[in-house]
Amino acid sequence: MSETSTPAWRELDSGACSIARTMAVIGEPWTVLVLRDLLNGIRRFDELVDHLGIARNVLTRRLTTLVDAGLVETREYREPGRRARREYRPTTAGRDLRTVLIALMAYGDRHHAGPAGPPAVVEHECGAPVTVQEVCADGHVLGPRDRVRTVPGPGSRRRAEAVPAG
């Protein structure tokens, strides 16, 4: 993910990419919004349907995908006089996506917010706004104009047929 990358990048199998693997789970329409609501404390199926305005069958599929991927777990609850039902809670892996959602929100606030400004603000329990920053392992805070490069990692693999440069 960079504006500059090594020439070998074209020779690597993009299917081994962590972004591609993550998008295979969360890239379907509605999935990120379901995660957003779960992270914001909406836990029950009917509440999710109502808040999102999503079709019940679509929500069922999205929740099944999230549960199967280990991003969400179910817990049984029972209201007095009613049958047992399930509620949905993010797992540690699901909560790890909070940073991604906050980054998407910040992008939307910068580039797609209406004239009144952002519709929501994420705050820490101390009351200060939460921001997402890129920071290198040496502690340098990166800005949008800082140069970064993506290099092959230990899990990379070569494509069966490398695309010639040019």
> Per residue in 112-127, pLDDT tens?
998 999 999 999 999 9
- Considering the four listed CATH numbers 3.40.30.10, 1.10.10.10, 1.10.3720.10, 1.10.1060.10, the one that applies to the domain covering 4-150 is 1.10.10.10
Model confidence at 9: pLDDT above 50: yes
CA atoms within 13 A on the CB side of 86: 9
Q: Specify the pLDDT at position 5.
A: 47
Where does the chain have alpha helices with state H? Answer: 18-26, 31-39, 45-52, 56-68, 92-95, 98-112
Instruction: State pLDDT tens for residues 53-67.
Output: 999 999 999 999 999
How much of the chain exceeds pLDDT 70, in percent? 92
pLDDT mean over 16-28: 91
